[in-house]
Protein backbone atom coordinates (compact mmCIF):
# COMPACT_ATOMS: atom_id res chain seq x y z
CA UNK A 1 0.00 0.00 0.00
CA UNK A 2 1.17 3.59 -0.56
CA UNK A 3 2.01 4.31 3.08
CA UNK A 4 4.26 1.26 3.27
CA UNK A 5 5.94 2.46 0.09
CA UNK A 6 6.65 5.84 1.68
CA UNK A 7 7.91 4.14 4.85
CA UNK A 8 10.31 2.03 2.79
CA UNK A 9 11.67 5.17 1.09
CA UNK A 10 12.23 6.88 4.43
CA UNK A 11 13.99 3.97 6.10
CA UNK A 12 17.31 5.86 6.30
CA UNK A 13 15.72 9.20 7.13
CA UNK A 14 16.34 10.28 10.73
CA UNK A 15 13.95 13.20 10.43
CA UNK A 16 10.66 12.09 12.01
CA UNK A 17 8.70 15.34 11.97
CA UNK A 18 6.14 15.37 9.19
CA UNK A 19 3.68 17.79 7.69
CA UNK A 20 1.30 15.80 5.49
CA UNK A 21 -1.06 17.12 2.84
CA UNK A 22 -3.02 14.28 1.34
CA UNK A 23 -5.65 12.85 -0.95
CA UNK A 24 -6.45 9.51 0.64
CA UNK A 25 -8.12 8.11 -2.47
CA UNK A 26 -4.57 7.01 -3.31
CA UNK A 27 -5.30 4.06 -0.98
CA UNK A 28 -7.97 2.92 -3.44
CA UNK A 29 -10.41 0.32 -2.21
CA UNK A 30 -8.23 -0.41 0.83
CA UNK A 31 -9.16 2.99 2.27
CA UNK A 32 -12.32 2.08 4.26
CA UNK A 33 -10.29 -0.06 6.66
CA UNK A 34 -8.53 3.12 7.89
CA UNK A 35 -11.68 5.04 8.78
CA UNK A 36 -11.30 6.22 12.35
CA UNK A 37 -7.71 4.99 12.50
CA UNK A 38 -5.95 6.99 9.78
CA UNK A 39 -4.07 9.35 12.10
CA UNK A 40 -2.80 6.51 14.27
CA UNK A 41 -1.81 4.50 11.20
CA UNK A 42 0.21 7.44 9.83
CA UNK A 43 1.81 8.12 13.21
CA UNK A 44 2.75 4.52 13.84
CA UNK A 45 3.88 3.55 10.35
CA UNK A 46 6.00 6.69 9.99
CA UNK A 47 7.23 6.44 13.58
CA UNK A 48 6.38 10.13 13.69
CA UNK A 49 7.89 12.18 16.46
CA UNK A 50 5.60 14.99 15.39
CA UNK A 51 2.84 14.99 12.77
CA UNK A 52 1.15 18.13 11.43
CA UNK A 53 -2.09 17.87 9.45
CA UNK A 54 -3.64 20.89 7.67
CA UNK A 55 -7.01 21.71 9.22
CA UNK A 56 -7.46 25.03 7.46
CA UNK A 57 -10.45 27.34 7.64
CA UNK A 58 -10.86 28.17 3.99
CA UNK A 59 -14.26 29.82 4.08
CA UNK A 60 -14.01 32.61 6.59
CA UNK A 61 -15.18 36.21 6.62
CA UNK A 62 -15.18 39.05 9.09
CA UNK A 63 -18.75 38.37 10.23
CA UNK A 64 -18.36 34.65 10.87
CA UNK A 65 -17.20 33.33 14.25
CA UNK A 66 -14.80 30.48 13.50
CA UNK A 67 -15.37 27.43 15.67
CA UNK A 68 -12.23 25.31 15.92
CA UNK A 69 -14.25 22.24 16.85
CA UNK A 70 -15.67 22.22 13.30
CA UNK A 71 -13.88 21.69 10.01
CA UNK A 72 -14.97 22.51 6.48
CA UNK A 73 -15.45 19.16 4.73
CA UNK A 74 -13.61 20.39 1.65
CA UNK A 75 -10.38 19.99 3.62
CA UNK A 76 -10.65 16.27 2.99
CA UNK A 77 -10.48 12.95 4.79
CA UNK A 78 -7.21 13.08 6.74
CA UNK A 79 -7.93 16.54 8.23
CA UNK A 80 -11.43 15.31 9.18
CA UNK A 81 -9.84 12.25 10.78
CA UNK A 82 -7.43 14.56 12.63
CA UNK A 83 -10.27 16.61 14.04
CA UNK A 84 -12.28 13.54 15.00
CA UNK A 85 -9.48 12.26 17.25
CA UNK A 86 -8.31 15.67 18.46
CA UNK A 87 -9.91 15.31 21.87
CA UNK A 88 -8.77 11.73 22.38
CA UNK A 89 -5.12 12.26 21.61
CA UNK A 90 -2.41 14.45 23.04
CA UNK A 91 -2.85 16.92 20.23
CA UNK A 92 -3.57 20.55 19.48
CA UNK A 93 -5.25 22.48 16.70
CA UNK A 94 -3.56 25.84 16.35
CA UNK A 95 -5.97 28.77 16.80
CA UNK A 96 -5.06 30.26 13.45
CA UNK A 97 -8.18 31.66 11.72
CA UNK A 98 -7.01 30.44 8.29
CA UNK A 99 -3.87 28.28 8.20
CA UNK A 100 -4.60 26.16 11.25
CA UNK A 101 -2.61 22.92 11.54
CA UNK A 102 -3.34 20.12 13.99
CA UNK A 103 -0.28 18.65 15.67
CA UNK A 104 0.13 15.15 17.06
CA UNK A 105 1.33 15.26 19.80
CA UNK A 106 1.11 18.70 21.32
CA UNK A 107 4.67 19.71 22.21
CA UNK A 108 6.40 22.59 23.92
CA UNK A 109 7.27 25.35 21.46
CA UNK A 110 4.03 25.31 19.49
CA UNK A 111 2.74 28.17 21.65
CA UNK A 112 5.44 30.38 20.15
CA UNK A 113 3.88 30.15 16.68
CA UNK A 114 2.19 33.41 15.74
CA UNK A 115 -1.39 32.44 14.90
CA UNK A 116 -2.39 35.94 13.80
CA UNK A 117 -0.70 35.52 10.44
CA UNK A 118 -0.49 33.00 7.62
CA UNK A 119 3.07 33.39 6.40
CA UNK A 120 6.45 34.88 7.23
CA UNK A 121 8.51 35.07 10.38
CA UNK A 122 7.12 33.11 13.37
CA UNK A 123 4.30 31.66 11.23
CA UNK A 124 3.60 27.94 11.33
CA UNK A 125 5.56 27.52 8.09
CA UNK A 126 8.54 29.22 9.73
CA UNK A 127 8.14 26.69 12.56
CA UNK A 128 8.29 23.85 10.02
CA UNK A 129 11.50 25.36 8.65
CA UNK A 130 13.16 25.96 12.02
CA UNK A 131 12.25 22.50 13.26
CA UNK A 132 13.34 20.72 10.10
CA UNK A 133 10.04 19.10 9.12
CA UNK A 134 9.66 16.78 6.18
CA UNK A 135 6.92 17.99 3.82
CA UNK A 136 4.83 15.15 2.35
CA UNK A 137 2.30 15.43 -0.49
CA UNK A 138 0.55 12.11 -0.16
CA UNK A 139 -1.43 11.47 -3.35
CA UNK A 140 -2.26 15.11 -4.04
CA UNK A 141 -2.11 16.35 -7.60
CA UNK A 142 0.83 18.37 -8.96
CA UNK A 143 1.66 19.93 -5.66
CA UNK A 144 -1.87 21.20 -5.04
CA UNK A 145 -1.14 21.38 -1.33
CA UNK A 146 2.19 23.17 -1.46
CA UNK A 147 1.04 26.09 0.70
CA UNK A 148 4.66 26.34 1.78
CA UNK A 149 5.36 28.13 -1.49
CA UNK A 150 3.11 31.02 -0.45
CA UNK A 151 5.14 31.34 2.73
CA UNK A 152 8.30 31.51 0.61
CA UNK A 153 6.71 34.20 -1.58
CA UNK A 154 6.23 36.18 1.62
CA UNK A 155 9.80 35.61 2.85
CA UNK A 156 11.09 36.70 -0.57
CA UNK A 157 8.72 39.72 -0.71
CA UNK A 158 7.58 38.96 -4.26
CA UNK A 159 6.28 42.02 -6.17
CA UNK A 160 2.82 40.60 -7.00
CA UNK A 161 1.72 40.21 -3.36
CA UNK A 162 1.51 42.48 -0.36
CA UNK A 163 0.65 42.22 3.30
CA UNK A 164 -2.94 43.03 4.16
CA UNK A 165 -4.78 42.94 7.48
CA UNK A 166 -8.36 41.98 8.29
CA UNK A 167 -10.32 41.03 11.38
CA UNK A 168 -11.16 37.43 12.13
CA UNK A 169 -13.20 36.32 15.15
CA UNK A 170 -12.99 32.85 16.58
CA UNK A 171 -14.21 30.69 19.40
CA UNK A 172 -11.38 28.89 21.15
CA UNK A 173 -11.19 27.31 24.58
CA UNK A 174 -14.60 28.72 25.42
CA UNK A 175 -13.62 32.30 24.60
CA UNK A 176 -14.44 34.56 21.67
CA UNK A 177 -11.41 36.44 20.38
CA UNK A 178 -10.83 38.82 17.49
CA UNK A 179 -7.46 39.23 15.83
CA UNK A 180 -6.16 41.59 13.16
CA UNK A 181 -5.01 38.86 10.81
CA UNK A 182 -2.00 39.34 8.54
CA UNK A 183 -2.23 37.79 5.09
CA UNK A 184 0.04 38.01 2.09
CA UNK A 185 -2.46 38.65 -0.68
CA UNK A 186 -2.00 38.75 -4.42
CA UNK A 187 -2.27 42.28 -5.77
CA UNK A 188 -1.62 41.65 -9.43
CA UNK A 189 -4.18 39.43 -11.12
CA UNK A 190 -2.20 39.24 -14.33
CA UNK A 191 -0.22 36.42 -12.70
CA UNK A 192 -1.48 32.97 -11.75
CA UNK A 193 0.05 30.41 -9.45
CA UNK A 194 2.40 28.02 -11.26
CA UNK A 195 3.64 25.55 -8.68
CA UNK A 196 4.05 22.60 -11.03
CA UNK A 197 7.14 24.11 -12.71
CA UNK A 198 8.76 24.77 -9.34
CA UNK A 199 7.92 21.26 -8.25
CA UNK A 200 9.58 19.82 -11.34
CA UNK A 201 12.64 21.94 -10.59
CA UNK A 202 12.81 20.58 -7.03
CA UNK A 203 12.45 17.00 -8.24
CA UNK A 204 15.17 17.50 -10.89
CA UNK A 205 17.44 18.99 -8.26
CA UNK A 206 16.84 16.05 -5.91
CA UNK A 207 15.37 18.27 -3.20
CA UNK A 208 11.97 16.62 -3.54
CA UNK A 209 11.55 12.92 -4.16
CA UNK A 210 8.65 11.70 -6.26
CA UNK A 211 7.41 8.15 -5.79
CA UNK A 212 4.88 6.79 -8.28
CA UNK A 213 1.96 4.72 -7.04
CA UNK A 214 -1.06 3.65 -9.13
CA UNK A 215 -0.81 6.56 -11.58
CA UNK A 216 -0.47 8.89 -8.60
CA UNK A 217 2.50 10.25 -6.76
CA UNK A 218 3.85 10.71 -3.29
CA UNK A 219 6.21 13.65 -2.92
CA UNK A 220 8.46 14.43 -0.01
CA UNK A 221 11.32 16.72 0.88
CA UNK A 222 12.85 18.68 3.72
CA UNK A 223 11.07 21.99 4.37
CA UNK A 224 14.49 23.54 4.95
CA UNK A 225 15.95 22.30 1.68
CA UNK A 226 12.81 23.16 -0.31
CA UNK A 227 12.81 26.66 1.19
CA UNK A 228 16.49 27.32 0.47
CA UNK A 229 16.16 26.08 -3.12
CA UNK A 230 13.02 28.11 -3.88
CA UNK A 231 14.28 31.25 -2.16
CA UNK A 232 17.47 31.08 -4.23
CA UNK A 233 15.33 30.91 -7.38
CA UNK A 234 13.09 33.76 -6.20
CA UNK A 235 16.15 35.94 -5.60
CA UNK A 236 17.06 35.55 -9.30
CA UNK A 237 13.49 35.61 -10.60
CA UNK A 238 10.78 36.97 -8.25
CA UNK A 239 8.15 35.56 -10.66
CA UNK A 240 9.42 31.99 -10.44
CA UNK A 241 6.24 30.70 -8.76
CA UNK A 242 3.75 32.35 -11.10
CA UNK A 243 2.95 32.60 -14.77
CA UNK A 244 1.47 35.42 -16.81
CA UNK A 245 -2.21 34.96 -17.68
Partner 1 sequence: MAVDNDEVRSIIVKYLKSGNPLFARLDEIPLDESLLELGYIDSFGVIDLVAFLEGNFNIQILDDEINKEKFGSINKMVALVVSKS
Residue ranges that bind partner 1, judged by CB under 8 A: 23-25, 27-29, 31-32, 35, 72-78, 80, 141, 214-216
Contact 124, 94 (CB under 8 A): yes
Distance in angstroms (rounded) separating the CA atoms of residues 241 and 233: 9
Least CB distance to partner 1 at residue 30 (A):
8
Give the rounded distance of the alpha carbon of 57 from its chain centre: 12
Nearer to partner 1, 75 or 124 (CB): 75
Distance in angstroms (rounded) separating the CA atoms of residues 119 and 117: 6
Distance in angstroms (rounded) separating the CA atoms of residues 42 and 39: 5
Supply φ then ψ for residue 116, to 5 degrees. -100, 15
Distance in angstroms (rounded) separating the CA atoms of residues 82 and 10: 23
Distance in angstroms (rounded) separating the CA atoms of residues 172 and 57: 14
Least CB distance to partner 1 at residue 71 (A):
10
Percent of the chain that is helix, strand, coil (3-state, to 5): 35, 30, 35
Least CB distance to partner 1 at residue 60 (A):
14
Least CB distance to partner 1 at residue 67 (A):
16
Least CB distance to partner 1 at residue 76 (A):
6
Nearer to partner 1, 29 or 112 (CB): 29
Nearer to partner 1, 11 or 73 (CB): 73
Nearer to partner 1, 122 or 216 (CB): 216
Nearer to partner 1, 37 or 165 (CB): 37
Amino acid sequence: MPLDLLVSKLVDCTNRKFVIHSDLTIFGRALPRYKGYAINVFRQKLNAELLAIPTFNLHTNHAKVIDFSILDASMGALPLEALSVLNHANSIRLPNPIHSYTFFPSVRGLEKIDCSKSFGEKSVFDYFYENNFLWVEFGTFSGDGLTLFHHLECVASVPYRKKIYFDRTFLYDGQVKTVAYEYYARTDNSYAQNFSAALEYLIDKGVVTSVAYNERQILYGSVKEISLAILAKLRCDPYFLVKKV
